[in-house]
Amino acid sequence: MPLFVLYTNLPKDKIPEDFLPKTSAFLAKQLEKPESKVTVRVNADQMMITAGSADPCAIVEINNITDGAKNKDTAMAITNFVETNLPLPQNRFYIIFTNQRGQNVSFEGKTIE
Protein backbone atom coordinates (compact mmCIF):
# COMPACT_ATOMS: atom_id res chain seq x y z
CA MET A 1 0.00 0.00 0.00
CA PRO A 2 2.90 2.42 0.12
CA LEU A 3 1.98 5.65 -1.59
CA PHE A 4 4.55 8.26 -2.67
CA VAL A 5 3.08 11.62 -3.68
CA LEU A 6 5.29 14.49 -4.84
CA TYR A 7 3.94 18.01 -5.16
CA THR A 8 6.44 20.35 -6.79
CA ASN A 9 6.67 23.65 -8.59
CA LEU A 10 9.12 22.05 -11.02
CA PRO A 11 7.72 22.02 -14.55
CA LYS A 12 6.71 18.62 -15.87
CA ASP A 13 9.60 18.63 -18.37
CA LYS A 14 12.07 18.69 -15.43
CA ILE A 15 10.77 15.35 -14.16
CA PRO A 16 12.81 12.58 -15.83
CA GLU A 17 10.76 10.05 -17.81
CA ASP A 18 12.06 7.22 -15.65
CA PHE A 19 11.38 8.97 -12.32
CA LEU A 20 8.11 7.14 -11.60
CA PRO A 21 9.38 3.59 -12.21
CA LYS A 22 12.66 4.35 -10.41
CA THR A 23 10.72 5.74 -7.46
CA SER A 24 8.42 2.73 -7.37
CA ALA A 25 11.33 0.28 -7.27
CA PHE A 26 13.22 2.40 -4.72
CA LEU A 27 10.23 2.72 -2.40
CA ALA A 28 9.44 -1.00 -2.53
CA LYS A 29 13.01 -1.84 -1.58
CA GLN A 30 13.27 0.86 1.07
CA LEU A 31 9.98 -0.06 2.74
CA GLU A 32 10.45 -3.80 2.22
CA LYS A 33 7.11 -4.12 0.42
CA PRO A 34 6.30 -5.78 -2.91
CA GLU A 35 6.44 -3.30 -5.77
CA SER A 36 3.04 -4.61 -6.87
CA LYS A 37 1.60 -2.73 -3.86
CA VAL A 38 3.41 0.61 -4.46
CA THR A 39 1.76 3.69 -6.02
CA VAL A 40 3.73 6.76 -7.15
CA ARG A 41 2.09 10.04 -8.08
CA VAL A 42 3.81 13.24 -9.23
CA ASN A 43 2.06 16.60 -9.31
CA ALA A 44 4.36 18.96 -11.21
CA ASP A 45 3.75 22.62 -12.14
CA GLN A 46 2.23 23.38 -8.73
CA MET A 47 1.84 26.96 -7.60
CA MET A 48 3.94 26.86 -4.43
CA ILE A 49 6.68 28.54 -2.46
CA THR A 50 8.81 27.38 0.45
CA ALA A 51 10.56 29.70 2.90
CA GLY A 52 9.23 32.68 0.97
CA SER A 53 10.94 31.63 -2.26
CA ALA A 54 9.55 30.23 -5.51
CA ASP A 55 12.86 28.47 -6.24
CA PRO A 56 12.32 24.77 -6.97
CA CYS A 57 10.62 23.18 -3.97
CA ALA A 58 8.41 20.24 -3.10
CA ILE A 59 6.41 18.30 -0.55
CA VAL A 60 6.74 14.52 -0.48
CA GLU A 61 3.96 12.55 1.17
CA ILE A 62 4.54 8.94 2.19
CA ASN A 63 1.52 6.89 3.21
CA ASN A 64 2.25 3.40 4.46
CA ILE A 65 0.86 0.73 6.76
CA THR A 66 3.51 0.90 9.47
CA ASP A 67 4.11 1.89 13.06
CA GLY A 68 6.59 4.55 11.91
CA ALA A 69 9.58 2.98 13.65
CA LYS A 70 11.73 3.25 10.51
CA ASN A 71 10.66 6.77 9.48
CA LYS A 72 13.97 8.32 10.54
CA ASP A 73 16.04 6.05 8.29
CA THR A 74 13.45 6.21 5.52
CA ALA A 75 13.50 10.03 5.64
CA MET A 76 17.23 10.15 4.91
CA ALA A 77 16.96 7.57 2.13
CA ILE A 78 14.08 9.42 0.45
CA THR A 79 15.87 12.75 0.83
CA ASN A 80 18.96 11.37 -0.89
CA PHE A 81 16.86 9.71 -3.61
CA VAL A 82 14.89 12.86 -4.43
CA GLU A 83 17.95 15.11 -4.37
CA THR A 84 19.82 12.70 -6.66
CA ASN A 85 16.99 12.25 -9.17
CA LEU A 86 15.43 15.72 -9.33
CA PRO A 87 16.80 19.26 -9.37
CA LEU A 88 15.65 19.76 -5.76
CA PRO A 89 18.18 20.41 -3.01
CA GLN A 90 17.29 18.79 0.31
CA ASN A 91 16.66 22.16 1.96
CA ARG A 92 13.82 22.82 -0.51
CA PHE A 93 11.42 20.00 0.36
CA TYR A 94 9.68 18.39 3.29
CA ILE A 95 8.66 14.76 3.69
CA ILE A 96 5.39 14.07 5.47
CA PHE A 97 4.79 10.55 6.75
CA THR A 98 1.29 9.24 7.32
CA ASN A 99 1.46 5.92 9.12
CA GLN A 100 -1.75 4.03 8.46
CA ARG A 101 -3.35 1.12 10.24
CA GLY A 102 -4.51 -1.69 7.99
CA GLN A 103 -8.12 -1.24 9.04
CA ASN A 104 -8.03 2.24 7.49
CA VAL A 105 -6.94 1.03 4.03
CA SER A 106 -9.00 -0.98 1.57
CA PHE A 107 -8.01 -2.90 -1.57
CA GLU A 108 -10.35 -4.96 -3.70
CA GLY A 109 -13.20 -4.17 -1.33
CA LYS A 110 -11.45 -5.48 1.78
CA THR A 111 -9.56 -3.71 4.51
CA ILE A 112 -5.94 -4.71 4.99
CA GLU A 113 -5.72 -6.14 8.50
Q: Which superfamily, per CATH, for 3-111?
A: Macrophage Migration Inhibitory Factor (3.30.429.10)
Tens of pLDDT, residues 12-54? 999 999 999 999 999 999 999 999 999 999 999 999 999 999 9
State the Cα–Cα distance between residues 64 and 1, nearest whole angstrom: 6
> Residue 83: pLDDT above 90?
yes
Q: Which residues are catalytic?
A: 2
Residue 33 neighbours by CB under 8 Å, 6+ apart: 1, 2, 27, 64
